[in-house]
Structures are given as structure tokens and as C-alpha cells.
């Protein structure tokens, strides 16, 4: 599946499965396990980030989006990783103008990945 939402993600795969499999040294079982971890973690991550934004805890927003950035990069979900990096940056700089947009984009990417993984 190709991403269709968000300018940065146009034409890029939501999850580069072949690259992920190579990263797992060809172990399909490991790749599946990582997918399950991402699938189960994403809704929780989204909720925690929302709570941190609601309570204006920018440090927590940065920490959570940083973790998501890493997880997504490990999963070869590059657009999700980029979106998380943008939110992390906005939180670190206390940029209240950019932050809502970044969070919106990240939510879109999270939804796309969840759709991809559950389809």
C-alpha cells in the first residue's frame, strides 16, 4: 500500500516490508513479531502523546515522539518516523504554532500504518 495523505508521504511506502525483512536478517518470524509490537504500541503511543499535549508537558511530548521516531525507523516506516521527528522538534523548541500541525500529520501517519498493518 502507498501512502496518500500528507505531502511528505506521497508515493512512499507506509512500511518498507522487504527492507524490514532484510533488517531482520530474513527472519519472517522476527519481522512479524516486530509488526505486532508496533501494532499494539501505536494506539498507546498516540494516547500518551495526546495526554502530554493536553497537559502542555512538552518534555514528555518530546520523549514520546522521540521513542516513536526510533521505533518507526527500526520498522522501516520512514514517513511515520519523519512525522514523529517533526513533532519532537516542535516540542523541544516549544513551537506552539508548528506543534498542532505536526501532531495532526503524525496522527495521520499513525492511522495509515495501523490501516496497513491490519489490512
CA–CA separation, 84 vs 102, rounded Å? Answer: 8
Cell of 73: 525507523
Using CB under 8 A as the binding rule, whether residue 17 contacts another protein is answered as: no
CA–CA separation, 58 vs 99, rounded Å? Answer: 10
Nearer to another protein, 3 or 76 (CB): 76
Using CB under 8 A as the binding rule, whether residue 8 contacts another protein is answered as: no
CA distances from 50 to 19, 76, 80, 113 (A): 30, 24, 16, 18
CB of 23 to another protein, least distance (A): 7
Q: How many other C-beta atoms lie within 10 A of the C-beta of residue 87?
A: 28
Instruction: Tell me which residues in 29-88 interact with another protein (CB under 8 A).
Output: 30, 33-34, 37-38, 41, 63, 66-67, 69-71, 73-76, 85
CA–CA separation, 51 vs 67, rounded Å? Answer: 16
CB of 35 to another protein, least distance (A): 9
CB of 24 to another protein, least distance (A): 7
By rule CB under 8 A, what count of residues binds another protein? 21
- Give the residues lining the site for another protein (CB under 8 A): 23-25, 27, 30, 33-34, 37-38, 41, 63, 66-67, 69-71, 73-76, 85
Amino acid at each position: 500500500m502507498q501512502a496518500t495523505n500528507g505531502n511528505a508521504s506521497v508515493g512512499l511506502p507506509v512500511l518498507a516490508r522487504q527492507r524490514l525483512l532484510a533488517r531482520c536478517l530474513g527472519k519472517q518470524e522476527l519481522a512479524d513479531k516486530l509488526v505486532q509490537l508496533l501494532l499494539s504500541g501505536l494506539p498507546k503511543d498516540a494516547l500518551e502523546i495526546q495526554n502530554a499535549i493536553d497537559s502542555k508537558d512538552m518534555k514528555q511530548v518530546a520523549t514520546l515522539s522521540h521513542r516513536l521516531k526510533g521505533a518507526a525507523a527500526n520498522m522501516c516506516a520512514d514517513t511515520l518516523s519523519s512525522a514523529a521527528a517533526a513533532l519532537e522538534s516542535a516540542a523541544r523548541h516549544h513551537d506552539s504554532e508548528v506543534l498542532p500541525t505536526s501532531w495532526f500529520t503524525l496522527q495521520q501517519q499513525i492511522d495509515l500504518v495501523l490501516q496497513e498493518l491490519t489490512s
